Amino acid sequence: MQGTVSSFQRPFSWQSLLADGVLLGLVSGPLAAPFLAASGLPGLPLIADIIYAMGQRVCPQPELGLALAEPYQMAVCMRCYGTVLGLVIMRWLYHKDQGRSAYWLEQYGLKGFVATFVLCLFYPLELALQGFSGWGMHHSLMLLFGLVAGLGLGAYLMPSLHSRLKTR
pLDDT of residue 165: 46
Name the domain count of the chain. Answer: 2
Mean pLDDT confidence for 59-87: 93
Residues 92 and 140 in one domain: yes
pLDDT at 11 over 70: no
CB environment 15-49: b (16+ within 10 A), e (fewer): ebeebeeebeebbebbbbbbebbbeeeeebbeebe
Same domain? For 57 and 96 the reply is: no
Percent of the chain with pLDDT over 70: 90
| Sign, CA torsion 97/102/105/110 | positive
Taking residue 60's Cβ as centre, other Cβ atoms within 10 Å add up to 13
pLDDT tens-digit profile of 40-66? Answer: 899 999 999 999 999 999 999 999 999
**Domain shared by 110 and 88, yes or no:** yes
How confident is the model over 126-144, as pLDDT tens digits?
Answer: 999 998 888 888 899 999 9
Average pLDDT score over residue span 79-102: 93
Q: Within this chain, do residues 160 and 129 fall inside the same structural domain, yes or no?
A: yes
For residue 41, give its domain range: 28-76
- Spatial distance between the Cα atoms of 75 and 63, rounded to a whole number of angstroms: 8
Task: Work out the end-to-end distance of the chain between its first and last CA atoms, rounded to an integer number of angstroms.
Answer: 23
pTM: 0.84
Tell the burial category of 10 from Cβ atoms under 10 Å away from its Cβ (0-12, 13-18, 19+): middle
d(CA 38, CA 72): 7
